[in-house]
């Protein structure tokens, strides 16, 4: 439940217009808070809306509730009466207050009206990706490789047990907050493949790449600041900007060569941009790779405008050669690039370890890491260091790369055969995903709904940007199982897209689409995290 402290009188107006706010405290500076009985009433309404208090359930007694909330009995009585007036609860003689029959829907409407929403950095449809239907679910949505063929689970197991045996001491101690030197050294050696000579001393180990990106944003921005991003971009970035109360400035991005540098330069000259957050190598969802000349120019530009670039290199290792993997950081001579990576896409997403080399902000990041929860898990760090330094890691990357090339080729053929005429699909050099532009008449959110009813999940284009620009696009991921059932399911997605375009859905499919539209509208607390 969202905290009571986030509720302000102006958001409660439509529920209870009269005398909501207590007078501002002496000095008049404090924001008005809703009067106590309304705070309590709203908290209960939120429980009703979430379904935690079902119809017919008795509310806590007035006396208990007063004790729990540290308020007077009279305040609780007033709160319960308020709920009664709004049809959410009913009193029963000598028994107390009970949840009314249709309370959930009414409470949901009320809570939606009064709940304060954070200033949105972005307006996007809320979205939930769980597949329904009777078939074994097929997911083309998640970017996390799930297929066990992608990861060498036996090697991971061996490395973990070796680390537990050899570094038993770390199980009973607090360890270095910036991460164990063995892993920082291993990351520095891996960074050579990105063309970067990093010092282990400047590397901080994090809980994955997103955690590294979050710390970089915290180090270089304040709430309300503007951050330039690619369009379309990874929805996790949009969620992060929103959570940190940052504004997104979306830059046009070429499906092959990445973000437009002339557009970026114009933005840097005309907008108060405080940081750039980009994935120059195998961006998500476009899988664009910036040519090296552009990477060099980008490094120069951020130094010239003195704006930090948060560079996400989580996908660089998926490319076949070091030349293509090269990061913008390789051209950074003045420390304006903050590089964030992890091994979630190549070793294991579950290990939850990443890293950051933050250039000028290395010290700030080390401090943030320490104050936000000290060290990551040392045994896992040792195991990961072990895995990265085994010669087999490069061989594993080559196998991954080959396998994906094959899969993406097969998937592209199916798309070209079964999707509506006019569909375009990219041809990325590596990675796990394809970006598909359907004819404009096909709404990818509707397609998502009809597919979900058939047990298939896809990534609708809208979740990758702040506008409706990619309404007709899909990101399809092939990091899960890939056999005959998945290939048939992909063809089925295409056929459903055709029927959506032609308007030939069955009555029950049309109903599914309508119902889902309502569902998405109602679920603005649901984000797209389940796509990871």
Least distance in Å: CB of 202 to ligand PLP? 19
The smaller minimum CB distance to ligand PLP, of residues 238 and 344, is found at: 344
- Output 83 or 209, the one with its CB closest to ligand PLP: 209
Place of tokens 């941009």: 273
Per-position b or e across 473-503, b if 16+ CB within 10 A of its CB: bbbbbbbbebeeebbebbebbbebbbbbbee
Decide: helix, strand or coil at residue 123.
coil
Report the 3 state secondary structure along 254-278. Answer: ECCCEECHHHHHHHHHHCCEEEEEE
239, 230, 373, 378: which is closest to 312 by C-alpha? 230
Which residues, 6+ apart, have CB-to-CB distance to 166 below 8 Å? 382
- By C-beta, is 38 or 474 nearer to ligand PLP? 474
Structure tokens at 478: 């092939």
Q: Which is nearer to ligand PLP, 142 or 494 (CB)?
A: 142
CB-wise, 143 or 331, nearer to ligand PLP? 143
Least Cβ distance, residue 130 to ligand PLP (angstroms):
18
User: Which one, 162 or 193, has the nearer CB to ligand PLP?
Assistant: 193
Distance CA 257, CA 185 (A): 32
Minimal distance in Å, beta carbon 54 to ligand PLP? 36
In the complex, least distance from residue 527 CB atom to ligand PLP, rounded to whole angstroms:
14
Residue with tokens 């270095």: 176
Rounded to a whole number of angstroms, the minimum distance from the CB of residue 352 to ligand PLP is 7
* Closer of 153 and 222 to ligand PLP (Cβ): 153
Shortest Cβ 532–ligand PLP spacing (Å) = 6
Q: Name every residue whose Cβ is closer than 8 Å to that of residue 238 and which is 6 or more positions away in sequence.
A: 121, 122, 124, 229, 248, 463, 464, 465, 466
Binding site for ligand PLP (CB under 6 A): 143, 208-210, 234, 236, 279, 284, 312, 314, 342, 344, 349, 354, 532
How far apart are CB 433 and ligand PLP at their closest, in Å?
Answer: 9
The residue among 311 and 446 lying less far from ligand PLP, judged by its C-beta, is 311
**DSSP string covering 312-348:** E-TTGGGSSSHHHH--GGGG-SSS-EEEEEESTTTT-
Tell the smallest beta-carbon distance from residue 28 to ligand PLP (Å).
44
Measured in whole angstroms, the distance separating CA 3 from the mean position of its chain's CA atoms is 22
Q: Which residue, 279 or 307, is less far from ligand PLP as judged by CB?
A: 279
Give the shortest CB-239-to-ligand PLP separation in angstroms.
Answer: 11
Query: Of 38 and 227, which has the nearer Cβ to ligand PLP?
Result: 227
Kindly report whether the peptide bond that precedes residue 232 is cis, defined as omega within 30 degrees of 0.
yes
In DSSP terms, 258 is beta-bridged to: 254
How near is the Cβ of 430 to ligand PLP at its closest, in Å? 14
Q: Which residue has the tokens 């509208």?
A: 521
Instruction: Count other Cβ atoms within 10 Å, centred on residue 394.
Output: 12
Q: How many residues does the chain have?
A: 532
* C-alpha–C-alpha distance, residues 491 and 528, integer Å: 24
Contact 350, 218 (CB under 8 A): no
């Amino acid at each position: 439940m969202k905290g009571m402290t986030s509720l302000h009188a102006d958001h409660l107006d439509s529920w209870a217009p009269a005398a909501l706010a207590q007078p501002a405290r002496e000095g008049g500076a404090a924001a008005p808070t809703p009067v106590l009985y309304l705070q309590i009433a709203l908290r209960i309404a939120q429980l009703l809306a979430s379904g935690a208090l079902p119809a017919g359930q008795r509310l806590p007694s007035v006396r208990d509730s007063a004790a729990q909330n540290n308020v007077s009995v009279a305040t609780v009585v007033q709160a319960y009466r308020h709920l009664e007036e709004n049809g959410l609860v009913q009193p029963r003689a000598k028994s107390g207050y009970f949840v009314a029959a249709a309370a959930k829907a009414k409470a949901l409407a009320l809570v939606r009206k009064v709940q304060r929403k954070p200033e949105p950095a972005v307006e996007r449809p809320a979205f939930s990706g769980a597949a329904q239907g009777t078939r074994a679910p097929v997911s083309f949505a998640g970017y996390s490789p799930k297929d066990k063929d992608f990861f060498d689970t036996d090697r991971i197991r061996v490395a973990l047990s070796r680390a537990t045996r050899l570094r038993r001491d770390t199980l009973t101690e607090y360890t270095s907050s910036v991460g164990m030197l063995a892993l920082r050294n291993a990351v520095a050696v891996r960074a050579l493949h990105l063309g970067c000579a990093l010092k282990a001393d400047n590397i901080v180990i994090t809980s994955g790449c997103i955690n590294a990106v979050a710390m970089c944003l915290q180090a270089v921005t304040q709430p309300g600041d503007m951050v330039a991003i690619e369009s379309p971009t990874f929805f996790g970035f949009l969620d992060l900007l929103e959570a940190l109360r940052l504004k997104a400035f979306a830059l046009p991005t070429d499906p092959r060569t990445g973000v437009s540098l002339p557009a970026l330069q114009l933005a840097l000259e005309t907008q108060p941009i405080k940081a750039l957050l980009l994935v120059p190598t195998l961006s998500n969802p476009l899988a664009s790779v910036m040519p090296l000349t552009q990477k060099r120019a980008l490094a120069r530009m951020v130094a010239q405008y003195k704006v930090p670039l948060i560079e996400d290199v989580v996908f660089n290792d998926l490319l076949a050669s070091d030349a293509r993997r090269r990061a913008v950081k390789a051209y950074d001579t003045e420390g304006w690039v903050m590089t964030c990576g992890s091994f979630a896409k190549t070793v294991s997403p579950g290990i939850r370890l990443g890293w950051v080399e933050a250039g000028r902000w290395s010290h700030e990041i080390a401090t943030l890491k320490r104050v936000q929860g000290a060290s990551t898990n040392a045994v896992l760090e040792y195991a990961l260091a072990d895995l990265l330094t085994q010669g087999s890691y490069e061989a594993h990357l080559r196998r991954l790369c080959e396998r994906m090339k094959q899969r993406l080729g097969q998937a592209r053929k199916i798309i070209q055969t079964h999707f509506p005429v006019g569909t375009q699909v990219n041809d990325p050099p590596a990675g796990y995903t394809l970006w598909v532009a359907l004819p404009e008449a096909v709404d990818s959110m509707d397609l998502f709904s009809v597919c979900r009813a058939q047990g298939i999940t896809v990534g609708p284009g809208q979740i990758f940007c702040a506008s409706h620009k990619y309404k007709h696009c899909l990101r399809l991921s092939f990091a899960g199982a890939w056999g005959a059932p998945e290939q048939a399911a992909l063809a089925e997605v295409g056929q459903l897209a055709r029927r959506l375009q032609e308007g030939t859905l069955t009555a029950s499919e049309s109903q599914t689409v309508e119902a889902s539209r309502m569902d998405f509208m109602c679920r603005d607390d649901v984000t797209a995290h389940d796509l990871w």
